[in-house]
Structure 1
């Protein structure tokens, strides 16, 4: 077994066709096919099945491809370790971030990263989790930080790593009739008019997909920025659900009140995701390392 065979196998998986994989690997189609056939003979298993719609892994092939991806990633990391001390990081990063993470975690991450790597330019798009997932799938963003949702769990060709686990709490204006409550049951919370953060003309978002498991949501508004959400909370008897790690940020404003849910733990997981068709660059991995380090302080 040779390392290049694993590279070819993963490239076929990503490309779905022998011709495109050969083009991307800078090798002829017959040579690529022969290399994979030799690997199959050596392992004694069929790795790929060829159909009119393209080339797809067998069940055992999918397992081996996942291991091959891990090996390739380790090899690339070894190469990067050898270079990083003698190399000034440069490049561009496009990332999409859930608003709570952008508000509380990213300022420290970006400040530290830019200080250490001043020649790396970072573009951040802030959006709702399911919107971010679609940006990753379409290639608009290199990677994203989102709330784990049903849509993410069902998505194909997505790599994800858990950053930390948290829970949802309630937030409302201090003049709301429930503002003096120390806690609320989930039934009491869902009875309130709810303002949801949404960045698309769709009705399903990460938080609502979690809440709908417990009953209907009385949605008052869907807004696409946090400033508008805050203003609505101050002027209407309504509530919003936010991750607990954001609560301290909102507690700074005397006009807003954070109320825990007493009877149900609305657990959420914040994940970092990227497409399996996107190979993380050295600069992206360095930024992700900084994000993970900062998120350790959240937990």
Structure 2
């Protein structure tokens, strides 16, 4: 029995797919299947069953996976004791983040982590929060950094840490007639204006719209999945957007965009780090979480 066999079994358990587990483990599908088959032969039991819903653990596999995770955790502890702060980590991390996170804290998170652990590669995807939630649930991403949404509140089997809280504000083009000479605006007036939403799928619901719809109908004029396009449309002065304040502060560095506060409402948003309950946190990932928490706490106390 080899440690990588246990690691591959855990990867299949997390992704519910042999092909996706192989991709995430950076080996070929036949090689991963062969490794697990050899483990089954050695143990004399069947660990996986293939169903229409994907690859799933057998009852025996469910019992073994618990011990397998403990074994890998103990191996990580041994490495930490042996090497302390000098341990050289290797591996890959798949991360999906909301655009507000991507243009603000993510550069510092990635560069800090890379400086400390140059042999670890991070694969980053940017997407809308509900889309990221689905990526994490399906095993396509190890972690997500999202706005807390109604969809998240209803999700099952998700671990999370609250990183910090903020509130939604309005951004618009500096030449926008609808917001001219305004530094504040009522929520009612804002909801009556044409609104631009960031969305990475064709579905209509997203994290920001789920917050706004609690206060009435919203007049959505654009849905885009590109921040550069978002800025260009806003600069034309025909629409507004609701974004977290920390993202707005980044946008207003451009001479084309201004920030407008809500005068009569506090639309709180919470930034979360999420991962699957069944996802085994490796030593690499535990170190990555530490960096995320440290950077966020330092910037948004």
User: Shorter-chain TM-score category?
Assistant: 0.7 to 0.9
Map of 1:132-151 to 2, 5 A cutoff?
132-151=132-151
Contact 2:79 2:87 in 1 (8 A): no
Q: Which moved more, 1:116-125 or 1:247-256?
A: 247-256
Partner of 1:123 in structure 2?
Answer: 123
2:76·2:282 contact (CA, 8 Å) conserved in 1? Answer: no
Kept after mapping to 1: 8 A contact 2:194/2:240? yes
Q: Deviations over 1:139-184 (max 9, x none)?
A: 0000110000010010011001100000000000011121310100
Corresponding position of 1:108: 108
RMSD in angstroms over aligned alpha carbons? 2.5
The normalised TM-score by structure 1 is 0.76
Match in the other structure for 1:248: 249
1:82 corresponds in structure 2 to 81
Q: Alpha-carbon deviations, 1:192-244, whole Å to 9, x = none?
A: 10000000111000111111000111000100011111111111421001101
Offset of residue 87 of structure 1: 2.4
Distance 1:133 1:238 in 2: 28
Matches within 5 A, 1:1-299: 18-22=59-63, 24=65, 79=78, 81-85=80-84, 87-177=87-177, 178-296=179-297, 297-299=299-301
The DSSP-based 3-state class of the residue aligned with 1:294 is helix
Alpha-carbon distance in 2 for matches of 1:158, 1:84: 32
**Bigger shift: 192-201 or 276-285?**
276-285
- Cα 1:251/1:26, change in 2 over 3 Å: closer
Q: Is the 8 A contact 1:80 1:282 kept in 2?
A: no
Give the number of equivalent residue pairs.
245
Give, in angstroms, the shift of residue 127 of structure 1: 0.2
Q: Distance in 2 between matches of 1:108 and 1:26?
A: 36
Structure 2: runs of 5+ lacking an equivalent: 1-12, 15-55
Q: Unaligned 5+ residue runs, structure 1?
A: 1-12, 28-68
SS of corresponding position for 1:104:
coil
CA, structure 1 residues 90+247, in 2 after alignment: closer, same or farther (shift >3 Å)?
same
**Counterparts of 2:210 and 2:75 in 1: how far apart (Å)?**
37
Deviations 1:248-282 (A, max 9, x none): 21111111110011101000000000001111111
Tell me the distance in 2 between the aligned counterparts of 1:284 and 1:209: 31
Query: What is the rounded CA distance, in whole Å, between the counterparts of 1:187 and 1:73 in structure 2?
Result: 54
Separation in 2 of the partners of 1:233 and 1:25?
51
TM-score (norm 2): 0.76
Residue 112 of structure 1, CA deviation: 1.2
Equivalent-residue separation in structure 1 for 2:235 and 2:76 (angstroms): 49
Shift of 1:24: 3.5
Tell me, in whole angstroms, the C-alpha distance in 2 between the residues paired with 1:26 and 1:185: 56
Contact 1:195 / 1:219 at 8 angstroms: preserved in 2? Answer: yes
